[in-house]
Amino acid sequence: MHKRTILRTVAAAALCAVGGLAAAQGTPFKIGLILPMTGQQATTGRQIEAAAKLWMAQNGDTVAGRKVQLILKDDTSLPDVTRRVAQELVVNDKVDVLAGFGITPSALAVAPIATQSKTPLVVMAAATSSITEASPYVVRTSFTLPQASVAMADWAPKNGIKSVVTLVSDYGPGLDAEKFFSDRFLFNGGKVVEKLRVPLRNPDFAPFLQKVRDLKPDAMFVFVPSGAGAAVMKQFGERGMDKAGIRLIGTGDVTDDDQLNDMGDVALGVVTSHHYSTAHPSAVNKKFVAEFQKANRNLRPNFMAVGGYDGMRVIYEALKKTGGKGGGDALLAGMKGQIFESPRGPAFVDAQTRDIVHNIYLRKVERKDGQLWNTEFDVIKDVKDPGKK
Ligand code: PHB
């Protein structure tokens, strides 16, 4: 090729690249946020939507010169709807990132779409260990049930609890909680008297609680998804199980900060293990809680809100690292390995597993200034998901 032709070709290519970049920067960066805004998991949707909007209010809606657009879709927590909505967001709206996912079946339903379209899928709520293995494009900012459950199985036998009945919702996260709590509790010399599983949809806890009352273990270990804790607590109290000397323990999902304040005296003294409490005493959390409450008529942020807030941070930082350009693989690379201070405490997106690493706290429900709080009294630092091979 003649020298001048080569030069002209190079110049044209360069112009094209600049033009492409300008076009990319002209189009908004789209985040498809899929949440259960109605139905059984609606509190999760409300919390995460509020948290994502708070993040944007605090950090602006432009990242590295690129306008960020949040497209919120309600999947009613039905996985078939989640899949359809995700497909539309990828094909029609051409979203750059998929995010949200209130329950495990919703996240799993969308994983193949993420893989096929090379779209990062940021899981802000769902917490079954295996979700990150369903697609190399999954990154998680919520937590995992094995992380939360193992800490409780270490605490309980050292605190007078030798026999336990487990009561979990009968699907992914419940089965993880049951397995990781039971295995560790047995290893620590405890006895699991019975393992009970309650349906996820329209659960009737009464017959299960009656069974636990009859078995009379030292404690009942509970996992129910965010939003269902108040019903368990109420019926536990109504049956006088606390008065009968059965303690309630579990992961922090059951003493969910979204509902805790309305649970009443029966919740007092309940010990749980989890990664986030609204009462976490750090400056970052105090600011987060104050601004969240101010923007949402005093609604208390719960652990779902924190998963959403941190998910937005991870997306923003990744977009920044690509200079506003985005692109599935570049964004994914930018998400892996992020270290930051979350309202929950120090957090880290493990580059190998794409799962969150964080502290797990032991907390006890206490009344302070007329309100109920999950007060942290011990911490296990930098807990990786024990469910990973
Ligand atoms: C889940 O479906 O993965 C899930 C939902 C709510 C929780 C925890 C896990 O509180």
pLDDT tier at 179 (50, 70, 90 boundaries)?
very high
Q: Atom 3 (ligand 1): residue with closest C-alpha?
A: 126
84, 319 contact by CB (below 8 A): no
Q: Which of 104, 256, 272 to mutate to test the pocket of ligand 1 (most atoms within 8 A of CB)?
A: 104
- DSSP line for 200-269: SSS---HHHHHHHHHH--SEEEEE--TTSHHHHHHHHHHTTTTTTTPEEEEETTTT-TTTGGGS-GGGTT
Distance CA 165, CA 146 (A): 17
Distance CA 171, CA 256 (A): 19
Distance CA 307, CA 336 (A): 16
Quick one: tokens of 202?
A: 């329209």
Given a cut of 90, is residue 25 above it in pLDDT?
Answer: no
Coil vs helix vs strand at 75? coil
213, 239 contact by CB (below 8 A): yes
Kindly state if the Cβ of 103 falls inside 6 Å of ligand 1: yes
Kindly state if the Cβ of 259 falls inside 6 Å of ligand 1: no
Q: Mean pLDDT, the chain, as a whole number? A: 94
C-alpha of residue 304 to centroid of ligand 1, in Å:
9
Q: Which is more confident, 13 or 47?
A: 47
pLDDT tens figures, 126-141: 999 999 999 999 999 9
C-alpha of residue 142 to centroid of ligand 1, in Å:
9
Label residues 321-335 b or e (16+ Cβ within 10 Å = b).
bbebbbeeebbbebb
pTM for the full model? 0.94
Between strands 345-349 and 66-74, the pairing is unpaired
- DSSP line for 313-376: HHHHHHHHHTTT---HHHHHHHHTT-EEEETTEEEEE-TTT--EEEEEEEEEEEEETTEEEEEE
- Report CA-CA distances (Å) from 68 to 25, 50, 316, 318: 10, 16, 9, 13
pLDDT tier at 8 (50, 70, 90 boundaries)?
low
Q: Which of 143, 253, 258, 276 to mutate to test the pocket of ligand 1 (most atoms within 8 A of CB)?
A: 253
90, 53 contact by CB (below 8 A): no
pLDDT score at 4 = 53
pLDDT score at 6 = 45
C-alpha of residue 103 to centroid of ligand 1, in Å:
5
CB within 8 Å of 310: residues ≥ 6 apart: 124, 141, 340, 342, 343, 344, 347, 356
